[in-house]
């Protein structure tokens, strides 16, 4: 099994809701930070959110709309996305690292990356 695998992407209308899941295996999720990142066509990858054992952080563009949670028993992290906008479109990837979840949401330092799941917000 891959260390991290994303699921839950799809096509949704503006204002809609999607829940992404990041399933982990091979290590204790409780000891790791999971980050969500996205990349739109022609744009650089950007950090969306991260969660550690003690903290969560969000990009300004998603605050109040996205919620990140973790279920250590299921070895999974979820990204609950509401009030989706066309600018949220992109490939969403999750990644894990043993270091903390910092507000800068940098992609550096992550050990494992998933292959990504497509999220398209369009009418």
Q: How far apart are CA 104 and CA 7, in angstroms?
A: 25
Rounded average pLDDT over 113-120: 97
Question: Residue 28's pLDDT band (boundaries 50, 70, 90)?
Answer: confident
Residue 29 pLDDT greater than 90, yes or no = no
Cβ burial, residue 54 (10 Å; 0-12/13-18/19+): exposed
pLDDT of residue 78: 98
Collapsing DSSP states into helix, strand and coil, what is residue 86? helix
Q: How far apart are CA 77 and CA 16, in angstroms?
A: 20
33-57 pLDDT per residue, tens: 999 999 998 999 999 999 999 999 9
52-108 pLDDT per residue, tens: 999 999 999 999 999 999 999 999 999 999 999 999 999 999 999 998 999 999 999
> Would you say 112 and 95 are in contact if contact means Cβ atoms under 8 Å apart?
yes
Tell me what percent of the residues of the chain surpass a pLDDT of 70. 99
């Amino acid at each position: 099994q891959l260390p991290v695998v994303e699921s839950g992407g799809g096509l949704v209308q503006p204002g809609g809701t999607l829940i992404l899941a990041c399933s982990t295996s091979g290590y204790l999720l409780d000891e790791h930070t999971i980050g969500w990142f996205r990349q739109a066509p022609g744009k650089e990858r950007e950090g969306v959110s991260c969660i550690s054992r003690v903290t969560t952080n969000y990009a300004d563009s998603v605050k109040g709309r996205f919620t990140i949670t973790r279920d250590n028993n299921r070895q999974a992290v979820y990204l609950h996305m509401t009030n989706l906008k066309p600018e949220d479109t992109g490939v969403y990837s999750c990644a894990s690292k043993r270091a903390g979840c910092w507000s800068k949401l940098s992609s550096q330092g992550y050990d494992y990356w998933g292959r990504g799941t497509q999220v398209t917000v369009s009418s």
